[in-house]
């Protein structure tokens, strides 16, 4: 399918640039629905866009609850607020979960690329104990010597690829709100935009 760089993506890139001096500008909230139907929300790190697409990359641990949520219901919504420019982006879409068992060699390459783009300190967290389980006092801590810097992704490393369907942009300084909706016709992607009341 053809992919078009969209006006919302340019707005987001502008916001990232304008807020780049703030470390927290690369963090956003990712909401999923648990198998019990309850909402689940957490903060994750923006890892960029998948090459030549509008798809958003997120690294995570395969053992985390969000994977169970996404395997049950493969949709999520991002809420991203930029404190200096007073802009909010809500982005929802389908999420592709790419772990080491994926059969698609292209997706496995994307996962490996995401692994090597992460810092060694970030990679170490995937060698730790299972997230969300009770912490044992005598659990050993991981140090960088336990990780081969040239080795590929460990089993716990997972790449999430969010493919946006809708984007809601709110600028509180200008009191402007725009919604963007993705349309697919004849295997071509286009985006409709509409100004709405804030």
Q: What is the pLDDT of residue 43?
A: 97
Q: How many other CB atoms are there within 10 angstroms of residue 103's CB atom? A: 6
Architecture of domain 7-130+154-196: Roll (2.30)
| 30 touches 42 (CB < 8 A) | yes
Pair of tokens at residue 81: 């607020």
User: For residue 92, what pLDDT is reported?
Assistant: 98
Q: Is the pLDDT of residue 136 over 80?
A: no
Digit-coded pLDDT (tens) for 137-196: 665 555 555 677 778 899 999 999 999 999 999 999 999 999 999 998 888 889 999 999
Q: Structural domain boundaries of the chain?
A: 7-130+154-196
DSSP assignments along 102-150, one per residue: -S-HHHHHHHHHHHHHS-HHHHHGGGSSPTTSPPPTTPPPP-GGGS-TT
Q: How far is CA 9 from CA 47, 71, 76, 137, 142, in A?
A: 15, 27, 18, 45, 38
Residue 188's DSSP bridge partners are 2, 185
């Amino acid at each position: 399918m053809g992919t078009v760089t969209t006006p919302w993506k340019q707005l987001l890139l502008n916001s990232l640039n304008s807020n780049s001096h703030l470390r927290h500008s690369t963090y956003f909230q990712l909401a999923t629905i648990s198998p019990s139907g309850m909402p689940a929300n957490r903060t994750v790190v923006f890892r960029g866009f998948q090459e030549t697409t509008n798809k958003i990359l997120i690294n995570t641990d395969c053992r985390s609850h969000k994977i169970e949520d996404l395997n049950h219901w493969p949709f999520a919504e991002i809420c991203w607020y930029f404190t200096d420019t007073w802009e909010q982006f809500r982005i929802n879409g389908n999420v592709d979960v790419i772990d080491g068992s994926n059969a698609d060699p292209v997706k496995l390459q994307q996962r490996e690329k995401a692994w090597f783009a992460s810092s060694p300190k970030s990679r170490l967290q995937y060698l730790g104990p299972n997230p969300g389980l009770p912490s044992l006092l005598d659990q050993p801590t991981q140090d960088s010597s336990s990780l081969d810097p040239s080795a590929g992704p460990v089993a716990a490393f997972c790449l999430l690829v969010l493919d946006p369907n809708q984007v809601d942009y709110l600028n509180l300084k200008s009191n402007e709100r725009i919604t963007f909706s993705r349309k697919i016709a004849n295997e071509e992607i286009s985006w409709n935009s509409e100004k709405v009341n804030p």
